[in-house]
Amino acid sequence: MKRNALQAVIACKCPKCRQGNMFQYNSFLPGKFDKVEETCSNCGLRYESEPGFFTGAMYVSYALVVAVLITIFTALNILDLYSPILAISLVVVSIVLLVPVFFRYSRVLFLHVFGNVQYDSALNK
Ligand SMILES: [Zn+2]
């Protein structure tokens, strides 16, 4: 299946071939969501190109958390339900529940955007 870049990001696929999985398990369950493959099973791309490469993904994660925070505060204001206790409670619960999502998509987005990996359409079958 040929994927475009957005589909590859959503499916957590390799940025070079858009076929290989970046994570060992296709699960957001605790103990499984954070297992990153070392190399792509399809094209052999090494995901962590240098030690500490994924440290930069924490900035992407921070941006994702801020986006959720803004969404919650905006939704509460639009629905006229805003109260500080409710807002803080929703933000804390959302962030805790979404840790696997933030973890995965911050790494996927960081590798796709800042990984300096050239897409090879010959590998995307
Ligand atoms: Zn690949």
- Residues 11-45: tens digit of each pLDDT: 999 999 999 999 999 888 888 899 999 999 999 99
Instruction: Report CA(58)–ligand 1 centroid distance (Å).
Output: 23
Q: Rounded to the nearest whole angstrom, what is the distance from the C-alpha of residue 98 to the centroid of ligand 1?
A: 26
Q: What is the mean pLDDT of the chain?
A: 93
User: What is the average pLDDT across 84-103?
Assistant: 94
- Judged by average pLDDT, the poorest of 30-34, 81-85, 99-103 is 30-34
Distances (CA, A) of 63 to 12, 84, 112: 18, 22, 16
Q: How many CB atoms lie within 10 A of CB 81?
A: 11
Contact partners, residue 11, CB within 8 Å, separation at least 6:
3
pLDDT, one tens digit per residue, over 9-20 is: 999 999 999 999
The residue to which tokens 């993904």 are assigned: 57
Q: What pLDDT was estimated at residue 1?
A: 80
d(CA 113, CA 64) in angstroms, rounded, equals 15
How many whole angstroms from 10 Cα to the centroid of ligand 1?
15
CB 23 within 8 A of CB 48: no
Average pLDDT for residues 64-81, to the nearest whole number? 95
| pLDDT-based confidence at residue 124 (cuts at 50, 70, 90) | confident
Q: How far is the CA of 85 from the centre of ligand 1 (A)?
A: 45
What distance in angstroms lies between residue 18's CA and the mean position of ligand 1's atoms? 6
CA of 19 to the centre of ligand 1 (A): 6
Task: Please give the distance, rounded to the nearest whole angstrom, from the Cα atom of residue 122 to the centre of ligand 1.
Answer: 11
**Using an 8 Å Cβ cutoff, are 95 and 68 in contact?**
yes
Give me the phi and psi of 14, to 5 degrees please: -60, 140
CA of 59 to the centre of ligand 1 (A): 24
Angle between helices 84-97 and 99-114 (to 10 degrees): 70
Examine the pLDDT at 85 and tell me if it is beyond 80: yes
